[in-house]
């Protein structure tokens, strides 16, 4: 049997003593947690280890002896340490010794409960105790098949990480503490602490309490009956800014709650939300300062009306071109004139609506820029809503054209089934055979001919306004993608991966390299998660979801005249 001994590198220069750790019999390995030094009393050592076991639920015990001949050159000490195995009885007794400053080590494991004591083969694995203690081991996104070597190594690593993480109480004793026990581990020089962190912890209590009261007041106002009336609740549900504000309100309630994070993923989620909020507000303040500087809002308001007039003129020229002979196509004159004048009247109404709002545009933009202090995402959502309102006429054109086109396509499909002696069974949702008389076939032929010759005119208007609608939708989609990126990107996890990569450990075998020539020894390093795995593991949920339509399904909907939206909100059905 080959025994793996995980030895902390911080103990390589420790004075001679006994090894304290935990046995992992299922993995045929042992984890050394600390070195206990002289002088000590065995009864007090057993009492201390039993207290640590009750506090950590880890079977901490004495694993063996550690000899550093640099500090102790007497041969009697080595023999004394070897004889300690009779006091701290165990099936295996480790004996690890170091020869001065050289790299020659001696490592052995002695079977004491056998009739003839024998030595087991030992592989010594160095590990950085501080990194293992502070890191979080992540399971693989695609678990390995059971029975494979990778799965066994991942299980062994998980056991080692869990043992070190649960032994936090053992690491709270440093060499400056007055007591009968003196240990060497990664915090022997003193427990790590930060004055800034402690001050922030003390100040976070009152701040969270005040923020909770304010959020409770805001939530009560949002749940009031006045805001839940039908017109208002319908409008709030369709505005992206209201959805984003509600999303951020949930984040603030989560951060200000008195309930502490119980697991590492919950703690990372809170940290990612906090950093996302800080970045969002910082970018919003930068945008607000840029807009208010040099009267940029006034210049933007002055250029908005001419741009709207220019867009209206271009649309009117486009409709005049469609009402003629576009690209030399022969159109139905009567239907072409009716559709053209109908859409021209809508453009006239839209221009009147814009000029009616022109005196208030600068004030509206001023308040929109002020809303950027709530975050860049709120400003982008308001910009998306303003774009939707300014291009509402294009949306109406698209809906009119799509409904009219779909009506003719469905009529042609139904009349085509009439010619073949078929009909659509609404109850059974299938096509059944049917016999028609002569009058029905005659009327169907007339209607089919009329719809077929009117279809090119309607299809042309539908094609043009669909392209215009898609242009607006692409701009809105880019804004929503940027908002979702800020909402869902785990910035804190990415910064942690960049600055302290060992904190996010992957459940894959450690990168090991030969360290010592005297015995089978390996020096281990933690393999961090890749950036893609960090994003996939800690990605924050967002309030919008995207349809999973394929390109073939999208082209089919466009061909049949179904309304297409690039995104939809959760709980809503797509038309």
pLDDT in tens, 213-262: 776 777 776 666 666 666 667 677 778 888 888 888 888 888 877 777 77
pLDDT at position 569 is 44
What does the alpha-carbon distance between residue 225 and residue 78 come to, in Å, rounded to a whole number? 82
Q: Which part of the chain is CATH 3.40.140?
A: 2-184
What does the alpha-carbon distance between residue 351 and residue 470 come to, in Å, rounded to a whole number? 22
The pTM of the full predicted model, rounded to 2 decimals, is 0.78
Long-range contact set of residues 438-447: C-beta below 8 Å, sequence gap at least 24: 444/415, 444/418, 444/419, 445/419, 447/411, 447/415
Quick one: tokens of 164? 């070190």
pLDDT at position 362 is 86
The answer to whether the beta carbons of residues 503 and 519 sit under 8 Å apart is: no
pLDDT in tens, 414-450: 888 887 778 877 778 788 888 788 888 888 888 888 8
pLDDT at position 119 is 66
pLDDT at position 145 is 53
Q: Under CATH, what is the fold of the domain 2-184?
A: Cytidine Deaminase; domain 2 (3.40.140)
pLDDT at position 275 is 92
The answer to whether the beta carbons of residues 190 and 183 sit under 8 Å apart is: no
pLDDT at position 517 is 46
Three-state DSSP at 269 gives helix
The answer to whether the beta carbons of residues 449 and 417 sit under 8 Å apart is: no
pLDDT at position 429 is 77
What residues have CB less than 8 Å from 466, skipping those under 6 apart? 398, 401, 402, 558
Quick one: tokens of 218? 């805001």
Short-list 168, 457, 515, 467, CA closest to 340: 457
Q: Identify the burial level of 492 via C-beta atoms within 10 angstroms of its C-beta, where 0-12 means exposed, 13-18 middle and 19 or more buried.
A: buried
Question: Dihedral of CA 111/112/114/119: which sign?
Answer: positive
The low-confidence residues of the chain, meaning pLDDT below 70, are 1, 70-87, 89-91, 99-104, 112-119, 141-154, 175-178, 191-198, 200-201, 203-205, 208, 215, 221-232, 234, 508-520, 544-549, 565-575
What residues have CB less than 8 Å from 409, skipping those under 6 apart? 455, 560, 561
The answer to whether the beta carbons of residues 45 and 51 sit under 8 Å apart is: no
pLDDT at position 525 is 80
What does the alpha-carbon distance between residue 88 and residue 33 come to, in Å, rounded to a whole number? 17
pLDDT at position 359 is 85
pLDDT at position 573 is 45
List Cα–Cα distances, 402 to 267, 334, 339, 410, 509, in angstroms: 49, 19, 13, 12, 58
The answer to whether the beta carbons of residues 365 and 270 sit under 8 Å apart is: no
The answer to whether the beta carbons of residues 315 and 348 sit under 8 Å apart is: no
Quick one: tokens of 277? 């909020």
The answer to whether the beta carbons of residues 105 and 124 sit under 8 Å apart is: yes
What does the alpha-carbon distance between residue 235 and residue 361 come to, in Å, rounded to a whole number? 21
Residues of the chain with pLDDT > 90, as a percent, come to: 7
What residues have CB less than 8 Å from 550, skipping those under 6 apart? none
């Amino acid at each position: 049997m080959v025994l793996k001994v995980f030895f902390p590198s911080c103990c390589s220069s420790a004075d001679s003593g006994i090894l304290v750790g935990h046995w992992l019999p299922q993995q045929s390995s042992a984890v050394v947690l600390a070195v206990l030094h002289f002088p000590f009393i065995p009864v007090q050592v057993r009492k201390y280890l039993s207290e640590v076991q009750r506090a950590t639920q880890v079977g901490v015990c004495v694993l063996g002896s550690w000899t550093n001949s640099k500090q102790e050159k007497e041969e009697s000490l080595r023999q004394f340490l070897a004889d300690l195995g009779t006091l701290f009885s165990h099936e295996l007794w480790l004996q690890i010794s170091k020869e001065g400053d050289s790299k020659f080590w001696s490592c052995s494991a002695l079977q004491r409960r056998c009739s003839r004591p024998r030595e087991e083969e030992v592989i010594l694995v160095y590990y950085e105790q501080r990194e293992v203690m502070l890191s979080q081991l992540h399971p693989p996104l695609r678990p390995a098949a059971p029975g494979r070597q990778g799965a066994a190594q991942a299980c062994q690593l998980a056991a080692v990480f869990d043992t070190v993480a649960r032994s936090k109480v053992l690491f709270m004793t440093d060499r400056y503490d007055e007591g009968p026990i003196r240990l060497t581990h990664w915090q022997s020089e003193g427990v790590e602490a930060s004055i800034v962190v402690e001050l922030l912890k003390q100040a976070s209590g009152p701040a969270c309490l005040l923020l909770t009261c304010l959020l409770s007041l805001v939530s009560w106002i949002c749940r009031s009956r006045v805001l839940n009336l039908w017109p208002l609740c319908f409008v709030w549900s369709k505005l992206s800014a209201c959805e984003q504000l509600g999303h951020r309100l949930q984040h603030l309630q989560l951060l200000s709650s008195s309930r502490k994070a119980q697991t590492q993923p919950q703690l990372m989620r809170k940290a990612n939300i906090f950093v996302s909020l800080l970045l969002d507000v910082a970018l919003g303040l930068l945008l607000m300062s840029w807009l208010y500087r040099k009267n940029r809002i006034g210049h933007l308001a002055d250029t908005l009306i001419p741009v709207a007039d220019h867009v209206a003129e271009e649309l009117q020229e486009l409709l005049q071109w469609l009402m003629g002979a576009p690209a030399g196509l022969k159109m139905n004159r009567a239907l072409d004139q009716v559709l053209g004048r109908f859409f021209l009247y809508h453009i006239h109404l839209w221009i009147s609506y814009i000029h009616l709002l022109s005196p208030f545009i600068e004030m509206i933009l001023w308040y929109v820029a002020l809303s950027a202090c709530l975050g860049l995402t709120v400003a982008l959502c308001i910009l998306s809503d303003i774009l939707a309102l300014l291009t509402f006429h294009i949306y109406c054109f698209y809906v009119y054209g799509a409904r009219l086109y779909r009506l003719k396509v469905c009529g042609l499909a139904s009349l085509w089934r009439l010619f073949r002696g078929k009909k659509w069974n609404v109850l059974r949702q299938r096509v059944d055979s049917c016999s028609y008389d002569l009058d029905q076939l005659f009327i169907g032929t007339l209607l089919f001919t009329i719809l077929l010759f009117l279809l090119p005119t309607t299809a042309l208007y539908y094609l043009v306004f669909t392209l215009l609608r898609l242009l607006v939708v692409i701009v809105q989609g880019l804004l929503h993608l940027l908002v979702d990126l800020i909402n869902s990107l785990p910035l804190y996890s990415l910064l942690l991966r960049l600055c302290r990569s060992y904190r996010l450990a992957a459940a894959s075998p450690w990168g090991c390299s030969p360290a010592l020539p005297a015995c089978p020894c390996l020096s281990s390093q933690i393999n961090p998660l890749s950036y893609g795995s960090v994003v996939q593991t800690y990605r924050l949920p967002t309030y919008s979801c995207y349809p999973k339509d394929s390109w073939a399904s999208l082209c089919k909907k466009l061909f049949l005249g179904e309304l297409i939206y690039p995104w939809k909100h959760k709980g809503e059905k797509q038309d």
